[in-house]
Amino acid sequence: MTQLPFSLLSEEHYQAQMDQVLLWLERLRQATGHCERKPGLGIYWEYYAPDDGCERVVFISHGFTESTLEYSELIWYFLRAGYGVFICDHMGHGKSYRLLEESWLTHVTSFDEYIEDLNHLMEKVVLPRTEGKERFLFGHSMGGAIAMLYLERYPGRFARCVLCSPMVAPLAGNLPVPVGGALANFMCAIGQGERKIPIQKPFDGQDRWESNTGTTSRARYLWYLERQRQDRDRQNSSATYSWAREAVNVRHPILSQAGQVEIPVLLCQASMDTVVQLEPQDELVEQLPQGRKIVYPYAKHEIYRSANPTLETFLLDVLSFLDE
């Protein structure tokens, strides 16, 4: 593929164009619901398909503090390229179940919960609705870690996988990662796993464009920030010690079992990433039997929401990889 089969949204007129995209997505949404692995604990999911149907479906696994809505533009591009799209809110995010009352806190007792939630959703919803179709997995950041753990534990469900800035190992702000990990382990050991980690704080809706670590597109940044201000369920902004412990400890299971993932995997790496470590991503590519890496020199952590020049290159790479 040498050029995209669609035009990117204009960053100059982004707000108005996204209003239209949301209307189009509402029309192309085939189904939505809550899938319960345990009584009262529902995982929210959405399924989209092009007007003329599809034979290929992408499942999107989102990152830390994100939601289905943040991927609206990417979903639209996949649909324009002829793919169906499944997406869910992971536990503790968006419209899915939470273990704590505070909507801004992101909490999990074990990353195994993410994996088993995803597998239950796959078996009860995704596989029956995509029988006979080719399935692909797209995982960003935390969702990339979930994607890798899922592929290692449940092979044969996906034909290819794209990892966007995967969280093989996180960074810990100004703290050295071993110190942050030790603190998280200690706080969990003394029963304080549900407390907020000190380097983050509740959502306040303030515009921090200049210091944002996610995107190089101001238009995309402001669009989602406004929707966070309007919806309490999308105001995740901080992790608990328990989530931080699980994030720090996810590196070993990902890397130790990566050799079992036999499908082609494309790892998209942001050279300006200050959220996750890059060296463990390189190690993961080396461990994967069919792993390859593309580096985006002008991208921050959220490559899929970059400014248009980088975003165009990224989408071309992703669609070309899935089309192989």
Q: Give 3-state DSSP helix, strand, coil % of the chain, rounded to 5.
A: 40, 20, 40
pTM above 0.75, yes or no: yes
Tokens for 233, please give them.
């369920």
Q: What is the DSSP string of 188-227?
A: HHTT-TTSBPTT---------GGG-SS-S-HHHHHHHHHH
Contact (CB, 8 A) for 241 and 184: yes
First-to-last alpha carbon distance for the chain, in angstroms, is 10
Q: Each residue's pLDDT tens digit in the chain (324 positions)?
A: 889 999 999 999 999 999 999 999 999 999 999 999 989 899 999 999 999 999 999 999 999 999 999 999 999 999 999 999 999 999 999 999 999 999 999 999 999 999 999 999 999 999 999 999 999 999 999 999 999 999 999 999 999 999 999 999 999 777 788 888 999 999 999 999 999 998 889 999 999 999 999 999 999 999 999 999 999 999 999 999 999 999 999 999 999 999 999 999 999 999 999 999 999 999 999 999 999 999 999 999 999 999 999 999 999 999 999 999
Tokens 């790892």 locate to: 267
Distance CA 10, CA 217 (A): 11
Strand, coil or helix: what is 108? coil
